[in-house]
Structure 1
């Protein structure tokens, strides 16, 4: 059982887009609502995009970037919380965390795509 779970988790960390599409289409089959299915897929895939970016950085640059990524996430959450508080003059943790989670998805999905392209270009350049 543990080997199977480890294999599935490794697959989703390696290819978080696969998880995104599986959750999206699964939620579409169950719920029939496109927006709810999309948000369910975003919520499920964000943590795997973060992990994938961490491992891509570690492989491409041969250095651990755990602390800078953690500081980036904390800083992003603080900036979103401060902006929300200044705009609304109120602080609702659920709304702030939802904004943070969706912004993290956009940032880390973009970083994932960029690092994949960079890694492929580097491997092709090295092989020439």
Structure 2
């Protein structure tokens, strides 16, 4: 059982888009609307996109970027909270966290795609 769980986690960290698609299709099969299925997939896949970006950075640049990554997440959350407070005049933690989580998904999915392309290009150029 432990080996199966480790294999599944490794697969989803390596290919978080696969998890995103599986959750989306699964949510659609259980009768949810398209929008709520998409948000369920975003919520499930965000942490795996963050982990995938961390490991891609470590593999491509041969350094650990855990502290800068955590600092980036903290600053992003603080900026979103500040912007929400300035715009709304009120602070709702749930709404701020939801905005932070969705922004993290967009940023880290883009970083994941960019790092994948960059890593492939660098490996191909190094082998020539």
TM-score clears 0.5: yes
- Residue 27 of structure 2 is matched in structure 1 by 27
Deviation at 1:38, TM superposition (A): 0.1
Alignment of 1:1-128 (within 5 A): 1-128=1-128
Structure 2: stretches of 5+ with no match in the other structure: none
- Report the more deviating stretch, 31-40 or 70-79: 31-40
Match of 2:30, SS? Answer: helix
Cα distance in 1 for partners of 2:92, 2:28 equals: 29
Moved over 6 A (4+): none
Deviation at 1:31, TM superposition (A): 2.2
Cα distance in 1 for partners of 2:62, 2:121 equals: 17
Question: TM-score, normalised on structure 2?
Answer: 0.99
Deviation at 1:32, TM superposition (A): 3.6
Match of 1:31, SS? Answer: coil
Aligned length: 128
Question: TM-score, normalised on structure 1?
Answer: 0.99
Cα distance in 1 for partners of 2:27, 2:112 equals: 24
Deviations 1:64-92 (A, max 9, x none): 00000000000000000000000001000
Deviation at 1:3, TM superposition (A): 0.8
Cα distance in 1 for partners of 2:32, 2:76 equals: 33
Structure 1: stretches of 5+ with no match in the other structure: none
